[in-house]
Structure 1
Amino acid sequence: MKNNTFSLLAIAVSAAFSSAACADINNIVISDSIEDPSHNKAIAISAIKSVSVTPCRDAAGISHKRIGEIQGSSYRSPLIADGKYISDAEYLVTGVVSAVTTELEKGFYLFDDDGITTTSNGIFVETDKPLDTTLIGQEICVRGFIAEDYGMTKVVATDGLWEVVNANAGKPAAIDLVKIPEDGNSFQATLERHEGMLVRLPADIVPEQKDDQTMRISRTFSFDYSGYRNNLVLAFERPNFQPNQHYVAGSKEAKQQAEDNNDRRLYVETDSKAANGVIPYYPDFGIDPQNNPLRINDAIVGLEGVLSYSYNNFRLITQNTITAENIIKHQPRQPIPTVNDKTEHHSFDIRVATLNVLNYFNSPFGGDANPQQSNRGADSQAEFERQQAKIVAAIHGLDADILGLMEIENNGYGSAGAISSLVNNVNLKYNREDSGDHAKDDHIDNRYAFIGIDANGDTVIDKLDTFGGDAITSGMLYRPARVSLEKVKQVLMPSQQAPVVADKNGDAVVDTKGKVRENGKNYQRDMLAASFIINNTGKRLTIGVNHLKSKGSTCWEDWQGWETWENFDPATGKVKDPDFQGSCENFRVAAADEIGKQMEKLGGDRVIVGDLNSYAHEDALLVLTDNPTAKTLKAARDTFIGEQPQFGAEGGVISRSYGYINAVEMMSKGKPYAGYSYSYNDEIGALDHILVSPSLKDRVLDATDWHINAAESTLFDYNQEHKGDNVDLLYSADAYRSSDHDPAILALAYRYNQVGEVPLQMLLDGSRLSVPYTLPATAQAGDIATIAISPTPENIAQITLPKVELQQSGAQTIMFDVNGLKAGKYTFTLSLTGSTTSKAVADNATQQLEVNVKHRDGVKADDDITPQNNNAGGTLGILGLLSLLGLSLFRRKH
């Protein structure tokens, strides 16, 4: 491994030499000069055609080494003694300049091909003298010490000087970055063999293998806070997955994944800091960014740069430009998610989705006040309008029938609340009212209602009701044309009331500003649980929307043992994270256990959705799904559900899992890069989940993440800062980078007229009712389908009972449009007759349905709602659609 314990920054190498052994800078013949902003003259040495700088010819007795001899075949130069980071002797080295860097690092790169493939033929020369690119292509000689500077092998030029040997040698051609057998399984070994060289990223890094061996984008072009500059990160063969996405947290497999990620990583840098909103080496992006995005899992070929090493990572400092032809799209943008929701004629699909809307706040822009006096979202009206347009586009594209929302402002359920504002703007997408194809995405039947809670108990749901005590909350939208709300429950999640983390004197540990690092008081957001009846069935479906504690801020457990951590400064240091779960995993375990218990009480078919802030095989997910390795799962100490203690001062060991099935993971098998919803640094994984109860497994048609956010650069978001002159060019009112989390979506199959936990339910559209009739394979074209109703409605004379002539033979489903029927409980008798239909066929086709005919949910969005108590211990409230027109039954158009 690279040695990271020593820097040459404080070494004044030139002080080690006598003036007799060095060129006298005052004797240089100056052929050009430059002026800095303070008008001081500076010598432009690299532009000199004939000078008296001769550090090599004046270096009698100093050994000359080729670059390969200096680099050697390992991670350290063989010319540096063990335990040291700079050579004991000076050396001479000659090569042709392949690149000059003046900002990211100060110096130039030499190339000398010795024909040996196991050692690098390039090396970086550090100098403090003025440089420009005219030095490229000149053969020069340098005298200096060899150093390992935080793992980067370099030559530190004595007095910063060099000697031109051949001013017209010509720029070296870039060498393809390829693996050889001697590299073994280590990509770092491949990079080390090319350290200091000008390389090109080829289309196939392992020539003897036929599969794709490219460098993939693992973190899109964005601001790197560790380096405080814009860059992107590549990984060999595939994006880097977060270690706990595929493996149990803390397992040897997860640790191996982390090591593998480190091995495959390559930063792509520019010497000068990239201007805001610009990718310097990809001009096509600046011309048309919307059609030339760089996304996670894209491969880049043909990009050239010199290989440097700093801060524990290899870095490709780019030296050419590329076009869209150099980008291989492995996961191109999808305007809508690819969901296999096709069903047989007798069935239809219901879509359930989860979407983190990344702090959608409308209170500063005409919305109701935030009770916490907080705004975590847009900074201006212009930004808010851009944010809203993107979120609306994402919701419209998802086409979900039930949608869980996270990070929406918690400013009540009034007409000026954030959730009402969002629903109203989404519903503007659906404005067609004709009686044609109701499955088309612009029909009013696709409009949404949202769920409200009477939080203050005043029997009215309005702007004074909030869900939980945070500035943000979770919410739920649904389509009354597809499902009917039965009951709602606010499920309290644990809070932690542990002791403050203190030092040996009993004083609270504080940061440099005197703020307590961990006070032991931590909170989760409550779960919103709602039970629906699937229209045209008697089946109940319960959805729980969650947003668990984040990984970023600590909990009490994260600080345990800090007194023994080597070199740990409690005022500024980061707590340890040996299993890559981030902070508060024990607190999330406590929440997961409570979710499992409360959803179990609700019973039936259940789906848990939301931003669980846990990757697929972290402890909280093991509680909710299964725990195949029997890992000990520990819940946090001093947690409470309301005022009721959950586990006590010792915490708790969770001995059971609740058996939910990770639907996206199940449907992503064989699709290695499909299941992720979040990108952090250069690792991807799923924080947003759809977990289905085992009773739903056979109903799952498909489940997937829609990669509109995590794979995209932050340059495409609604924010207007840090984008330079391209702020408008980078923005589009589409779904891409509408949030930082990808939405996930699930398609479930239901049969028409399927009985279930409640009577079969059909919904009136005004006075019109659509009744499905599923016919057997023996049905013939020309047969007549009829419907009869009992008991006979009082207004039977005003009711239209249609007869439908079959237009085709075989199994099929037709719809009766019954007009004039009032809400109530009826028996429908559906029959088939015709000249070609035998009595046996007719008898087989006859169906009797016990049906509860109801009106759709929903009222105008600006009305206050009087809720009803429900049996689940919560309150029921519906805030509704702008319009309630449209049929209650349709199949999604494919």
Structure 2
Amino acid sequence: MSYVPGVITPSGSILIRLLCCSVLVLPALAAASSCGQSATVITEVQGNTDTSALVGQTVTVEGVLTQDSRQAGGFSGFYLQQANTPADSTRSSALFVYTRHKGGSSGQRLRVTGKVKEHYGLTELVAVSDLQVCGTQALPAPVEVSLPWTRAPESLENMRVRINGPLKITDSHQLTRFGNVSLAAKDPLISTEFMAPGTAALRHARLTSMNTLVLDDGHARRNPPSLNWLPAYNATQPGSAASSLVAGTQVHGLTGVLDYRYGAWRLQPDQVPSLEPPSLPEPAPAKPTGSNLRVMTLNLNNLFNGDGRGQGFPTKRGAKTLAQYQRQLQRLSAGLNQAGADLLALSELENDGYGSHSAIAQLAASLGPQWRFIAPVNPAAQKDAIRDGLLYREDRVKALGPAQYLSAGGRPALTQRFVLKSGGLPFRLVSVHLKSKSCRNARGENAQQNDGQGCYNGARVKQANALHQQLGQLDNSNASAGTLITGDFNSYSKEQPISELARAGYTNMVAHFHPCTPVRCEHYSYRFKGARGSLDHALASAALKPRVLSARVWNINADQPRMVDYRSHSSPQPWRSSDHNPLITDMKL
């Protein structure tokens, strides 16, 4: 008859739950032996490799309970570390004991009998048949460690550690959902932001991931109401502690148990660390001397306005309520206006027509009476739920001729020629949003190629090449200052779609003025799992390149924690108005 592992009850009996739902209460097993008698050394259980050589065997170990995680929502067990043993730089001297037994507390010496198991990379003791409290004992001193790892973290698994020096927060995406943030010694870079795709880029990405540490809250629960390492956190007021969780925040005083769960090394802290946030985002950059046209590029992070009449929420994407939409629109408008742009190239805008109740019309109205939006002559070419949008200040700029979508597979690019009202040569502005890196339904050349470029790179390369070809077929008989292709390419700076357009004569202007290197990269538009890079670009044709005086990123969004966006509360500032940073390109036409 099948059964699940036994659970020791508070009275000392073992409760065995049969699959047929009946219950038997049997006498408690006799103690394997008494405290202080011969026992298996925990380092022997851990061994020298990722997997214990004693898996499946029943052993008796003694150690100090260093951290208890048997509380409601915890990991259903505790960490047990060998005491008074010489340091071993190759083997861990601690185990996680998975049990519902309530005996023992932090700072007590325990003698435990159970079966050795590897659980998703974590060495555990399970099916506990005996647990004895052997008195109190001081916690083992934490082992001093550094990131990047100077010692294999496997040799420290489940042990108390102290991190030398501060680490930086690189990602807080999982904070409200699981109560953790990612940390690293240096703010990591996406490998294909500064190196060509391939084996070396993939190796760099894996190294970056290995040298990241998750600061956890000792719980397996979702949507935690509070956090043991961040007392100021309050789930009912998600913006309350957000100012201390900006990417780049230095975290001091990291001490606790080094744990391995959910595919990542984690620190389960035993004291509250201190946080040192960076400065607030800087104001929009000033226009360079001689500039007479500013273009701002931004992914709007799904600006959907319901039915445009206050109803129709929740939307397919973006805001779930009218109040959320109003807060989103207010923040976006604040950022777009503060930048002082003449032209806006936008993506992730709801594809709901061009009437007075459309998302693009309401965005233009929120920016002020001087703003107008472009409506292409072939709107049916865009069939996706989201589209690109072009807006312009009609008091400064004039649209020339018809605008149109250029179909290159996937979401079509939107193109329009503009000229300054004060005179000068016209130029062409193209707003793009290439296929995302999501791997859903990816096959063949669009599947993961293990070169650091993600899925659907083949589709993005085809879109880039088709865009170049179609731009060459447009009527450019009139004198022109050139072309600027800008938007969300879903490709980092050294990836193939950008390289293909470079071969066609287009220069990545942000990378031109501010190239990313392994040691310096101040201009980036996006963060993915803590690593930073640019998915958004401004590519100038050979004719336009000498007229571009400045191209840069305005870092107001990507570093800010998701928990402070429009979903949580309103703000007069544009910080975290999107998940992408805007690009600002200044020209002299």
Is 1:283 equivalent to 2:231 in the alignment?
A: yes
Q: Given the alignment, which residue of 258, 261, 264 partners 2:205?
A: 258
Contact 2:169 2:247 in 1 (8 A): yes
Q: 1:402 to 1:582 in 2, by over 3 A?
A: same
CA pair 336-278 structure 1, distance change in 2 beyond 3 A: farther
Find out whether 1:468 has 2:382 as its counterpart. yes
Counterpart selection for 2:419 from 526, 533, 536: 533
**How far has the Cα of 1:608 moved from its partner?**
0.7
1:594 aligns with 2:466: yes
Return the TM-score normalized by structure 1.
0.57
Q: Which residue of 1 aligns with 2:429?
A: 543
- Return the letter of the residue paired with 1:606: T
Identical counterparts, % of pairs: 27
Deviations 1:448-500 (A, max 9, x none): 33222344xxxxxxxxx6672333221112223443323343142134xxxxx
* Pairing partner for 1:194 from 137, 156, 159: 156
Q: Is 1:740 the counterpart of 2:579 in the alignment?
A: yes
Counterparts of 1:536-575 in structure 2, within 5 Å, are 536-552=422-438, 558-560=442-444
* 1:335 Cα offset (Å): 4.7
Give 3-state SS (helix, strand or coil) of 1:192's partner.
helix
- Identify the residue that residue 186 of structure 2 maps to in structure 1: 237
The partner residue of 1:268 within 215, 232, 241 is 215
Quote the residue 1:140 is aligned against.
Answer: 110
Asked whether the equivalents of residues 291 and 586 of structure 2 are also in contact (C-alpha less than 8 Å), the reply is: no
2:263 equivalent in structure 1: 312
Deviation at 1:355, TM superposition (A): 0.9
Q: In the superposition, relative to structure 1, how do residues 118 and 340 fare at CA in structure 2: closer, same or farther (>3 Å)? A: farther
Cα deviation, residue 267, structure 1: 2.2
Aligned position for 1:664: 510
Matched to 2:468, the amino acid is G
Secondary structure (helix, strand or coil) at the match of 1:244 reads helix
CA contact (8 A) 1:548 1:591 kept: yes
TM-aligned CA distance change 1:619 to 1:575, over 3 Å: closer
**8 Å contact from structure 1 (residues 351, 401) kept in 2:** yes
Aligned to 1:451, which of 370, 374, 381? 374
Residue of 701, 704, 707 corresponding to 2:555:
707
Structure 1 residues 279, 540: closer, same or farther in 2, change over 3 A?
A: farther
Which deviations, in whole Å up to 9, do the C-alpha atoms of 1:823-849 show, x marking residues without a partner? xxxxxxxxxxxxxxxxxxxxxxxxxxx
Give 1:359's aligned amino acid: N
Q: Does the CA contact (< 8 Å) of 1:285 and 1:293 recur in 2?
A: no
1:494–1:120 distance in 2 versus 1, CA, 3 Å: same
Query: SS of the residue aligned with 1:712?
Result: coil
Superposed displacement of residue 624, structure 1: 0.9
Of residues 363, 388, 407, the one that matches 1:493 is 407
- Contact persistence 1:307–1:314 (CA under 8 A): yes
Q: Is there any run of 5+ residues in structure 1 with no aligned partner, and where?
A: 1-9, 16-22, 29-41, 43-50, 180-185, 204-213, 429-446, 456-464, 496-523, 562-573, 626-656, 720-726, 751-894
**2:80 aligns to what?**
110
- Give the C-alpha shift of residue 592 in structure 1: 0.7
How far does residue 98 in structure 1 lie from its aligned partner after superposition?
1.2
Which deviates more, 545-554 or 286-295? Answer: 286-295
Shift of 1:356: 1.2
Q: Equivalents in 2 of 1:543, 1:396: separation in Å?
A: 20
Distance 1:415 1:170, change over 3 A: same
Q: Which residue of 2 aligns with 1:352?
A: 295
Contact 1:490 1:529 in 2 (8 A): yes
Checking the alignment, whether the CA contact within 8 Å between 2:80 and 2:97 is kept in structure 1 is: no
Where does residue 327 of structure 1 map in the other structure? 276
2:101 to 124, 130, 140: 130
Letter in 2 for 1:125: F
Q: Does 1:100 align with 2:68?
A: yes
Asked if residue 220 in structure 1 is aligned to residue 189 in structure 2, the reply is no
**Residues 561-640 of structure 1: pairs in structure 2 closer than 5 A:** 576-600=448-472, 601=474, 602=476, 604-625=481-502
Q: Which residue is 2:534 aligned to?
A: 686
Mapped to 2, the partners of 1:542 and 1:27 lie a distance apart of 80
Counterpart residue type for residue 466 of structure 2? E
Question: Could you say which residue in structure 1 is the equivalent of 2:135?
Answer: 166
Distance change (3 Å), C-alpha of 1:736 and 1:276: farther
Instruction: Give 1:514's aligned residue.
Output: none
Per-residue deviation at 1:408?
1.4
1:404 Cα deviation after fit: 0.3
- Is contact 1:55–1:163 with CA below 8 Å preserved after alignment? no
AA in 1 matched with 2:461 = V
Give the secondary-structure state (helix, strand or coil) at the position aligned to 1:108: strand
Q: Which amino acid aligns with 1:75?
A: D
Q: Distance in 1 between matches of 2:110 and 2:562?
A: 43
2-structure distance, mates of 1:691, 1:195: 48
- The one of 350, 353, 358 equivalent to 1:409 is 350
Deviations along 1:720-760, one digit per CA (max 9) or x if unpaired, are: xxxxxxx45xx42432222222211222345xxxxxxxxxx
The 5 Å alignment of 1:742-761 reads: 742-749=581-588
CA contact (8 A) 1:307 1:315 kept: yes
Q: Distance in 2 between matches of 1:164 and 1:290?
A: 40
CA RMSD of aligned residues (A): 3.7
Letter aligned with residue 582 of structure 1: G
For 1:706 and 1:350, the matched residues in 2 are separated by: 17
Q: Is the Cα–Cα contact under 8 Å of residues 285 and 292 in structure 1 kept in the other structure?
A: no
SS of residue paired to 1:348: coil
Question: Hey, what's the Cα distance between the residues in 1 that align with 2:402 and 2:256?
Answer: 58
Is contact 1:678–1:710 with CA below 8 Å preserved after alignment?
yes
Alignment of 1:421-432 (within 5 A): 421-427=362-368
2:336 matches 1:395: yes
Contact kept in structure 1, 2:349 and 2:359, CA below 8 Å? yes
Quick one: structure 1 residues 411 and 265, their matched pair in 2 at CA, closer, same or farther if it must change by over 3 Å?
same
CA contact (8 A) 2:439 2:447 kept: no
Is residue 231 of structure 2 the alignment partner of residue 299 of structure 1?
no
Amino acid corresponding to residue 455 of structure 2 in structure 1: S
Distance 1:390 1:152, change over 3 A: same
Conserved in 2, the CA contact under 8 Å of 1:53 and 1:162? no
The amino acid across from 1:402 in the alignment is: L
Alignment of 1:363-374 (within 5 A): 363-366=306-309
Offset at 1:285? 4.6
Q: 1:421 to 1:158 in 2, by over 3 A?
A: closer
Inter-partner Cα distance in structure 2 for 1:599 and 1:136:
69
What's the offset of the Cα at 1:673? Answer: 3.7
| Alignment map for 1:331-342 (pairs within 5 Å) | 332-337=279-284, 339=285, 341-342=287-288
The 3 A distance-change label for structure 1 pair 605 and 396 is same
Q: Conserved in 1, the CA contact under 8 Å of 2:184 and 2:212?
A: yes
Contact 1:221-1:230 at 8 Å conserved across structures:
no
Cα distance in 2 for residues equivalent to 1:549 and 1:668: 25
- 2:146 maps to a residue whose letter is V
Is the partner of 1:623 in helix, strand or coil?
helix
Taking the aligned partners of 2:345 and 2:99, their CA distance within structure 1 comes to 58
Q: Partner of 2:153: helix, strand, or coil? A: helix
What amino acid does structure 1 have at the position aligned with 2:587? L
1:399 Cα deviation (Å)?
Answer: 2.3
Q: Specify the SS of the correspondent of 1:86.
A: coil
Greater Rg over alpha carbons, structure: 1
After superposition, the Cα gap between the structure-2 partners of 1:466 and 1:414, relative to the gap in structure 1 and judged at 3 Å, is farther
Q: Distance in 2 between matches of 1:396 and 1:575?
A: 40
Q: Determine the C-alpha separation between the residues in 1 that align with 2:211 and 2:144.
A: 17
